[in-house]
């Protein structure tokens, strides 16, 4: 019972931190310490309550009558919930430490309110992943959406933030409606809102399909799968960076949790095409998410697009797992889910880290545009180091954590193409190819992010004058950077816990995935991977170049650090260095159908103006094809429909009276009959 008390303590601390912060809004420093301090303690309590369950404990469940007559308030901690709590708490710990200093960026703009919203946001996420009743799940889901909406719009004097918040709210609610309908389908069958009865619900196949598809798209809208991703690249960058970190790191994962809950826990992943659908949407999101991330010059937007990619990779794992369960292959099921969950943790850690890194840059130079950064690794060496770690991890560079989870995904796809049903066998290798393409694109994208923002010459005066960020912010980032290394090198320790979670979801015995320093996909004859051996060998092999240089007397020759890069004899200026736009240009040409390039040349007589030495403004903007082919027409036709309907608004009171009477008559005849 201890675990339950600690869990409740953690929720209590979040809420206490929120209220204290709000109460002390006048004194911003105290408010900030109160909210961050409570969040740190609460996240530690959350981890303490979750770890025993992951380590093989039984979990707990509490029920009370609740405030509404038709639904019980139930909290349940099973291994999947425990994993989610662990991930949320881990990221909360890092962002809370980070925000001790970072919140000063918002001094005078209501730090107390920010802390209040932030703590409630985290509490609502934790309650979403532990609720065991559909009604309260939706209440907390909605709370999470609303609070994050306020956080997105926190800088409400910025037009783009308000616009982003609006789109977010619309898409999130469209998704919530789908989830509600899905739950109502369960309710109609079982007569209660309890998840425990949903699990044993005996739905007809058609209703099952419908419930799954509705839940998938409902949660998918929140997870940011293509083509429902439209809100994500706008909303995540608009929020303060510590909140972006939480939104990208864990909030979109609650949607993955929802898909796992409904698809596997309630419906038992009984039909193979569900898994294939999830896999396909995941793969498309992964490839296109990364393509659009490539085209961005805004550091935070780029990170947001790459969240779409990573959610895609997580869903690919989930999809393979569902295919495995549907086909009665527990090993494939476990491997797929393991790959998905592993990437879920990894993405929380490295995306959290990268958003915090972006926040540090913004904290110092107050711009999100990469082309105004440059050379920051010299002024901010620790931030640069942490960001590079995150960039390496997200590009799936061995031996860091991103590689391990993608490796498991490759192995599960390999297993699916040897033992799956024919349709799955045929397509699985093609999904592996899409994963490879995603990996290559991610590497290119993050070479660009680090190389343009942190490498090369300083591209603006503000970048030249940047300083390292304060200690707490560094601590927050370095915790997550260490997390990338630990989750990568410690894969033989981490993987069995995830296999345990996967086994608990399937109700089978755990698959063996590790021995000693090795991890393997069920059987070591299929493949082996040992990131720790890799690191040992790499470190050992570094002896060769050092020895070669040493023996040949290379160090004696010394090093001269005064030169500027060669520029064909002209004097070098920082504007000559490669830019973000230039770096991604080959891909914009190669994959041009996916983009919509808009170039604008301001000033009508630009030719003459440029000859006369006047400055000419050139703007290049890139939109995605989804905006062009889906959302543009959708928005336009909605407006057109609205304009048609305006016809009945004549502005004459007598007409309106007539409408009321007609409506009354229609309603009366409909009910009396």
Partner 1 sequence: MPGSTLFLIGLVQAVLVLLAAPLFTGLSRTLRAKIHSRKGPDILQDYRDILKLIKRQEVVPAQAGWVFRATPYVLMATVLLLAMMIPILTLQAPMGLAGDLIAVVYLLTVFRFFFSLAGLDSGSIFAGIGASREMALGVLTEPAIILVLFVIALLSGSTDLGTISQKVAAGAFSYSSPVVWLGMVAFAVATFIETGKLPYDLAEAEQEIQEGPLTEFSGRGLALLKWSLGIKQVVVIALFLAVFFPFGSAAALSFSSLLISMILFLLKVAFCYVIAALLENSMARLLLFKAPAVTWGVFGIALLSFVFYVASS
State which of positions 365-394 bind partner 1 (CB under 8 A).
Answer: 375, 377-378, 381, 384, 388, 392
CA distances from 236 to 34, 307, 358 (A): 25, 10, 12
What is the spatial distance between Cα 342 and Cα 321, in angstroms, rounded to a whole number? 13
Nearer to partner 1 by Cβ, of 53 and 413: the residue is 413
Residue 293 binds to partner 1 (criterion: CB under 8 A): no
CB atoms under 10 Å from CB of 535, counted, come to: 16
List the x/- string, 169-198, binding to partner 1 by CB under 8 A.
------------------------------
- Shortest reach from residue 479's CB to partner 1, in Å: 22
493 binds partner 1 (CB under 8 A): no
Residue closer to partner 1 by CB (options 69, 558) is 558
Least distance (Å) between residue 571 CB and partner 1: 13
Q: Which residue in 542, 608, 617, 661 binds partner 1 (CB under 8 A)?
A: 542
| Radius of gyration, CA atoms only, the chain | 27
CA–CA distance, 665 with 668 (Å, rounded to integer)? 5
Decide if residue 273 touches partner 1 (CB under 8 A).
no
Which one among 229, 300, 448, 500 touches partner 1, defined by CB under 8 A? 448
- Assign residue 329 a region (left: φ > 0; alpha: ψ between -120 and 50; beta: otherwise): beta
Cβ–Cβ under 8 Å, residues 417 and 429: yes
Is 624 in a helix, a strand, or coil? strand
Report the nearest approach of partner 1 to the CB of residue 279 (Å). Answer: 16
Subset of residues 245 to 264 that bind partner 1, contact rule: CB under 8 A? none
Site pattern 415..444 for partner 1 (x: CB under 8 A): --xx------xx--xx-xxxxxx-xxx-xx
Closest to 299 measured CA to CA, from 157, 451, 403, 466: 451
Cβ-contact 54, 498 below 8 angstroms: no
**Residue list 584-643, contact with partner 1 (CB under 8 A):** 584-587, 589-590
- Alpha-carbon gap, residue 123 to 567, rounded angstroms: 55
| From 79-87, 331-339, 582-590, 621-629, span contacting partner 1 (CB under 8 A) | 582-590
* Closest alpha carbon to 444 in 395, 387, 410: 395
CB closer to partner 1, 447 vs 486: 447
Cα–Cα distance for residue pair 350/599, rounded to 1 Å: 34
CB of residue 137 vs partner 1: minimum separation in angstroms?
A: 38
β-pair partners for 94: none
To partner 1, the closest distance from the beta carbon of 588 in angstroms equals 10
| CA pair distance 200, 634, nearest whole angstrom | 39
| Interface of this chain with partner 1, residues 44 to 103, rule: CB under 8 A | none
Query: Should residue 541 be labelled a site residue for partner 1 when binding is judged by CB under 8 A?
Result: yes
For residue 444, the minimal CB distance to partner 1 (Å) is 4
Binding to partner 1 (CB under 8 A) within 552-581 occurs at: 552-555, 557-567, 572, 574, 576-578
Residue closer to partner 1 (CB basis): 264 or 413: 413
Block residue for tokens 């008559």: 665
Q: Which of 55, 549, 658, 668 binds partner 1 (CB under 8 A)?
A: 549
Q: What SS3 class is residue 173?
A: helix
- Euclidean distance between CA atoms 197 and 187, whole angstroms: 9
Q: What H or E segment, with its residue span, contains residue 597?
A: strand 595-601
The correct pick among 452, 473, 481, 487 for binding partner 1 (CB under 8 A) is: 452
- In the bound complex, what is the minimum distance in angstroms from residue 568's beta carbon to partner 1? 9
Binding span for partner 1 by CB under 8 A among 19-27, 140-148, 224-232, 521-529: 521-529
Among residues 87 and 287, whose Cβ is nearest to partner 1?
Answer: 287
Note whether 186 and 138 are within 8 A (CB). Answer: no
What's the distance, Cα to Cα, between the start and end of the chain in Å?
58
DSSP H helices in 191-228: 195-199, 205-223
Q: Which of 447, 482, 609, 625 binds partner 1 (CB under 8 A)?
A: 447
When the beta carbons of 344 and 377 are compared against partner 1, the nearer one is 377
Neighbours of 645 (CB within 10 A): 9
Q: Which two tokens stand for residue 534?
A: 């890799």
CB of 517 to partner 1, least distance (A): 8
Minimum CB distance to partner 1 smaller for 17 or for 390? 390
Q: Which residues are registered as beta bridge partners of 600? A: 619
- Under the binding rule (CB under 8 A), the answer on residue 460 touching partner 1 is no
Measured from the CB of residue 465, what is the shortest distance to partner 1 in angstroms? 16
Beta bridge partners of 601: 618
Tokens of 7: 């869990």
CB-based contacts of 636, cutoff 8 Å, min separation 6: none
- Per the rule left: phi > 0, alpha: psi between -120 and 50, beta: everything else, 651 is left
- Are 65 and 73 in contact, with CB atoms under 8 Å apart? yes
Q: Does 410 contact partner 1 by CB under 8 A?
A: yes
Q: For the segment 13-32, give every residue that binds partner 1 (CB under 8 A).
A: none
Q: Give least dist CB 424 to partner 1, A.
A: 12
Candidate ranges 208-216, 344-352, 359-367, 526-534; the one touching partner 1 (CB under 8 A): 526-534
Q: Say whether residue 528 binds partner 1 (CB under 8 A).
A: yes
Q: C-beta of 372: minimal distance to partner 1 in Å?
A: 16
């Amino acid at each position: 019972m201890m675990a339950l008390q600690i869990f409740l303590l953690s929720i209590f601390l979040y809420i206490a931190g929120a209220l204290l912060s709000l109460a002390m809004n006048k004194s911003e420093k105290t408010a900030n310490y109160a909210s961050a301090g409570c969040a740190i303690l609460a996240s530690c309590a959350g981890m303490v309550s979750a770890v025993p369950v992951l380590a093989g404990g039984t979990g707990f469940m509490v029920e009370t009558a609740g405030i509404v007559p038709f639904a019980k308030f139930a909290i349940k901690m099973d291994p999947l919930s425990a994993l989610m709590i662990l991930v949320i708490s881990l990221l909360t710990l890092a962002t809370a430490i980070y925000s001790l200093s970072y919140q000063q960026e918002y001094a005078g703009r209501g730090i107390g309110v920010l802390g209040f919203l932030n703590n409630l946001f985290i509490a609502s996420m934790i309650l979403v992943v532990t609720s065991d009743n559909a009604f309260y799940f939706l209440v907390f889901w909605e709370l999470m959406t609303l609070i994050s909406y306020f956080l997105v719009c926190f800088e409400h004097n910025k037009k783009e933030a308000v616009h982003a918040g609006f789109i977010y709210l619309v898409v999130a609610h469209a998704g919530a409606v789908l989830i509600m309908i899905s739950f109502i389908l369960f309710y109609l069958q079982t007569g209660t809102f309890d998840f425990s009865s949903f699990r044993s619900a005996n739905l007809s196949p058609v209703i099952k399909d419908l419930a799954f598809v509705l839940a998938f798209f409902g949660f998918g809208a929140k997870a940011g799968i293509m083509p429902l991703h439209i809100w994500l690249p706008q909303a995540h960058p608009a929020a303060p960076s510590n909140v972006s970190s939480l939104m990208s790191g864990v909030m979109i994962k609650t949607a993955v949790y929802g898909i796992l809950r409904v698809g596997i826990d309630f419906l038992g992943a009984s039909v193979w095409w569900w898994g294939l659908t999830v896999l396909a949407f995941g793969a498309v999101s992964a490839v296109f998410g990364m393509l659009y991330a490539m085209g961005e010059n805004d550091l935070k937007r780029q990170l947001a697009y790459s969240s779409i990619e990573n959610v895609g990779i997580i869903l690919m794992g989930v999809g393979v797992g569902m295919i495995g369960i549907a086909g009665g292959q527990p090993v494939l099921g476990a491997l797929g889910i393991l790959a998905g969950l592993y990437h879920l943790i990894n993405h929380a850690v490295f995306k959290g880290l990268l958003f915090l890194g972006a926040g540090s840059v913004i904290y110092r130079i107050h711009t999100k545009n990469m082309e105004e950064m440059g050379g920051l690794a010299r002024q901010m060496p620790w931030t640069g180091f942490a960001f590079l770690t995150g960039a390496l991890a997200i590009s799936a560079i061995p031996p860091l954590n991103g590689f391990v989870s993608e490796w498991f995904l490759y192995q599960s796809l390999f297993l699916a193409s040897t033992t799956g049903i024919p349709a799955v066998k045929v397509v699985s290798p093609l999904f592996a190819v899409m994963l490879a393409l995603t990996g290559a694109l991610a590497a290119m994208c993050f070479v660009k992010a680090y190389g343009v923002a942190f490498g090369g010459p300083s591209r603006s005066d503000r970048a030249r004058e940047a300083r390292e960020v304060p200690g707490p912010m560094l601590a927050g980032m370095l915790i997550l950077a260490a997390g990338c290394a630990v989750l990568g090198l410690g894969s033989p320790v981490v993987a069995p816990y995830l296999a345990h979670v996967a086994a608990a979801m399937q109700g089978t015995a755990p698959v063996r995935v590790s021995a000693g320093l090795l991890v393997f996909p069920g059987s070591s004859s299929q493949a082996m991977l040992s990131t720790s051996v890799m690191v040992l060998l790499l470190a050992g092999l570094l002896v060769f170049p050092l020895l070669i240089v040493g023996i040949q007397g290379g160090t004696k020759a010394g090093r001269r650090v005064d030169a500027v890069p060669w520029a064909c004899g002209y004097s070098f200026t920082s504007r000559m260095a490669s830019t973000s736009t230039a770096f991604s240009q080959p891909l914009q040409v190669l994959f041009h159908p996916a983009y919509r390039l808009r170039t604008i040349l301001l000033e009508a007589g630009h030719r003459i103006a440029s000859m006369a030495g006047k400055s000419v403004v050139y703007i290049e903007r890139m939109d995605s094809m989804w905006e062009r082919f889906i959302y543009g027409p959708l928005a336009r036709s909605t407006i057109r429909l609205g304009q048609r309907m305006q016809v009945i608004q004549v502005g004459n009171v007598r007409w309106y009276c007539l409408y009321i009477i007609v409506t009354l008559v229609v309603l009366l005849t409909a009910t009396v009959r």
